[in-house]
A and B are shown apart, each in its own frame.
Chain A
Amino acid sequence: MSETLSRIPAGMRYYSGPEARLRRTIENTLVSIFDGWSYEEITTPTIDYYSLFEHGMGRSQAHHAFRFSDTDGRMLAIRPDVTSLVARAAATLFAERERPLRLCYVAPVFRQQPRSRAEWRRESTQIGCEFIGANGSAADMEALAIVCEVLERLKLDCDSLITLNDVEVFNGMAEQLKLTREARAEMRDLIDTRNADDLGRFLARYSHEPEARPFKQLVQLSGKRNVLTDARGLITNPRSQAALSRLERLWSVVESLHLADRFEIDLGDVSQLDYYTGLTFKIYISGAGARVASGGRYDRLTASFGQEEPAVGFVFELDTLTEVLFARACDSIAAGSSSVEGARLTGNNLGELFVAARRKRELGERVIITASEVSQ
Chain B
Amino acid sequence: MTEVTIAVAKGRLQAETLDLLTRAAIIFSSEALSSRRLSIQDESGRFRLIFVKPADVPVYVEHGIADCGIVGRDVLLESEPDLLQPLSLNIGACRIVVAARNDAPESQLGMLKVATKYPRIAARHFGARGIAVDLIELAGSVELASVLGLADCIVDLVETGKTLQDNGLTIIEVIADSAARLVVNRASYQLKAHVVGRFMRSLNEAQQRGE
Contacts and interface: CB of A to CB of B under 8 A. Distances in A.
Contacts of A264: 190, 193
B187 A193 contact: no
Interface in A312-365: none
Q: Assign chain A's interface to a size class.
A: 20 to 34
A81 to B, nearest CB: 18
A interface SS class: mixed
Contacts of A196: 86-87
A118 B62 contact: yes
A115 interface: yes
B14 interface: no
Given A161-B191, A194-B86, A284-B191, A290 B81 contact: no
A163 B82 contact: no
Given A117-B59, A118-B62, A222-B193, A289 B187 contact: yes
Interface in A162-199: 163, 193-198
Interface in A194-246: 194-198, 219, 222
B202 interface: no
Contacts of A290: 64, 82, 186-187
B185 interface: yes
Of B65, B83, B187, B191, chain A has the most CB atoms within 10 Å of the CB of B187
B86 A117 contact: no
Contact of B81 (A117, A198, A286, A287): A117
Contacts of A21: none
Interface in B62-89: 62-65, 81-88
B184 interface: yes
Nearest to B185: A289
Nearest to A287: B64
Interface in B46-74: 58-59, 62-65
B199 interface: no
A288 B188 CA distance: 9
Given A194-B184, A196-B87, A117 B82 contact: yes
B86 A286 contact: no
Contacts of A193: 83-86
A281 to B, nearest CB: 12
A261 interface: no
B64 A195 contact: no
Contact of A289 (B62, B84, B86, B87): B62
A255 interface: no
Contacts of A266: 190
Contact of B64 (A118, A194, A197, A282): A118
Contact of A288 (B59, B64, B86, B184): B64
B191 A116 contact: no
A300 interface: no
A308 interface: no
Contacts of B191: 159, 161, 284-286
A193 B190 CA distance: 13
Interface string B180-198: 0000111101110100000
Contacts of B87: 196-197
A116 B62 contact: yes
A289 B85 contact: no
A264 B197 CA distance: 15
A195 B76 CA distance: 13
Contacts of B62: 116-118, 289
A245 B100 CA distance: 57
Interface in A107-122: 115-118
Contacts of B63: 117-118, 289
A289 B81 CA distance: 13
Interface in B16-36: none
Given A115-B82, A161-B190, A289 B64 contact: yes
A288 B191 CA distance: 11
A195 B187 contact: no
The 7 closest A-B pairs by CB, nearest first: A289-B64, A116-B82, A194-B86, A197-B88, A194-B84, A284-B187, A289-B63
19 contacts: A115-B82, A116-B81, A117-B58, A117-B62, A117-B63, A117-B81, A118-B62, A118-B63, A194-B184, A197-B88, A222-B190, A222-B193, A264-B190, A264-B193, A282-B190, A284-B190, A288-B187, A289-B185, A290-B64
Interface of A: 115-118, 159, 161, 163, 193-198, 219, 222, 264, 266, 282, 284-291
